[in-house]
Amino acid sequence: MFKSYSISMSRLYLCVPGMALVLVLSLIAQDKAPDDTIKVDVDLVNVLCTVHGKNNALIGGLEKGDFHLLEDGKEQEIKYFTRETDLPLTIGLLVDVSGSQERLIDTEHRAASAFFRSVLRPKDLAFIISFGKDSELLQDSTSSPKLLEEGLKQLRLNVPVGGLHPGPVPTQQNQAGTVLWDAVYLAANERLRSEAGRKVIVVITDGVDTGSKKTREQAIHEAQLADAVVYSIDYSDPGAYGGGFVFGGGGGEAELKKMSDETGGRVFKVDRKNTLDDIFKQIQEEMRSQYAIAYSPTNPKKDGTYRKLDFKMANKDYKVQARKGYYAVAN
């Protein structure tokens, strides 16, 4: 039996990362009676999602009964559900500062600064990583807009030795051009795996990777293990690629779409109709319009296998944006 406390259950389950959720509550001495115990289900899977209707409009006001969640084709019982829009949030901002982004860095700095000022609340955290020939943590997790602004001021071109414009194709003189996948892996593994609450990675890049030691699949895998949603901002300078043709890297936007789709995010493209500021506003709206769902899987084995997730909505005109699956690992 649960004893009533002032903390809502929806906030409790979201404040524990991973699948094998072991929740230990240390009760304040004066409130604890000899027979006071709190028991919680420790094998919950957490899924964050947004719902879109016609014209991609965000849908709010839905109830638990509007969602049907399947794991490997088998429907699961949703145990906890919340529509709260102010659950704790940790944002990792990853900014491409390779040679192809040289003329975009000032705009990225300004727009990201405005984004942090607008989206962060006192209980939220954010960190900044830049990546070019290597990855660099410019600001560790903080809730201070001032510290984040100082971190953004450190954004500067990061290219291999041999010139400011080595080009997108790795050569003998340019062995590491842009380590996009390494940066995503780093953010998920070293900064988000141990964080509680909702976790989001926002990547500003043209999607071209020419030097990572990690693969795209490894970056996605690590983001999934961290329960992190990846939003990708496809921001490119056509002049950096001879008028728009991108060499190497596997093809920019398609690479980003794969990563974002698998983790429950989206790809936004900066163009004449959508400025970087516009896209940051859209991401903010999505992050504040998420539904939080938790369930105990009918397959309790923690064997490291990948479990596919699928949503069916009561209203067939609605489309759920959520991660495609998770790895059943023991924490």
Cα–Cα distance measured from residue 190 to residue 295, given in angstroms and rounded to the nearest whole number: 26
Q: Which residues neighbour 37 within 8 Å (Cβ) at sequence distance 6 or greater?
A: 3
Average pLDDT estimate for 254-280: 95
Strands 78-82 and 267-269: unpaired
Question: In the structure encoding, which two tokens stand for residue 241, read together?
Answer: 């690629």
When pLDDT is cut at 50, 70 and 90, the band that residue 243 belongs to is low
pLDDT, tens digit, 9 for 90 and up, residues 133-158 = 999 999 999 999 999 999 999 999 99
Which ranges of the chain does DSSP label H, i.e. alpha helix? Answer: 9-14, 105-119, 145-152, 180-186, 216-225, 252-263, 276-287
To 5 degrees, how large is the angle CA 202–CA 203–CA 204? 125
pLDDT, tens digit, 9 for 90 and up, residues 285-323 = 998 889 999 999 999 999 999 999 999 999 999 999 999
pLDDT at site 329: 87
Map residue 87 onto helix, strand or coil: coil
When pLDDT is cut at 50, 70 and 90, the band that residue 98 belongs to is very high
Q: In what order do the strands lie in the sheet with 78-82?
A: 78-82, 291-295, 45-52, 319-322
When pLDDT is cut at 50, 70 and 90, the band that residue 251 belongs to is low
CA distance to 100, 105, 176, 235, 283, per residue, from 245 (Å): 12, 21, 20, 14, 28
To 5 degrees, how large is the angle CA 100–CA 102–CA 107? 120
pLDDT, tens digit, 9 for 90 and up, residues 11-60 = 344 444 343 332 222 222 333 444 444 344 458 899 999 999 998 999 99
pLDDT at site 269: 94
The angle, 0 to 180 degrees and rounded to 10, between the axes of the packed helices 252-263 and 216-225 is 20
Specify the DSSP element, H or E, that contains 79: strand 78-82
Percentage, residues of the chain above pLDDT 70: 78
Return the top range by mean pLDDT from 29-33, 91-95, 252-256.
91-95
When pLDDT is cut at 50, 70 and 90, the band that residue 331 belongs to is low
pLDDT at site 86: 64
- Name residue 76's beta-bridge partners: 69
Tell me, yes or no, if the pTM score tops 0.85. no
Question: In the structure encoding, which two tokens stand for residue 216, read together?
Answer: 């795209």
pLDDT at 78 over 70: yes
Three-state secondary structure readout of 278-296 = HHHHHHHHHHCCCEEEEEC
Q: State the residue for tokens 């728009």.
A: 244
Domains of the chain (ranges plus CATH)? 9-83+290-327 (no CATH), 89-287 (3.40.50.410)
CA nearest to 277, candidates 118, 74, 163, 155:
118
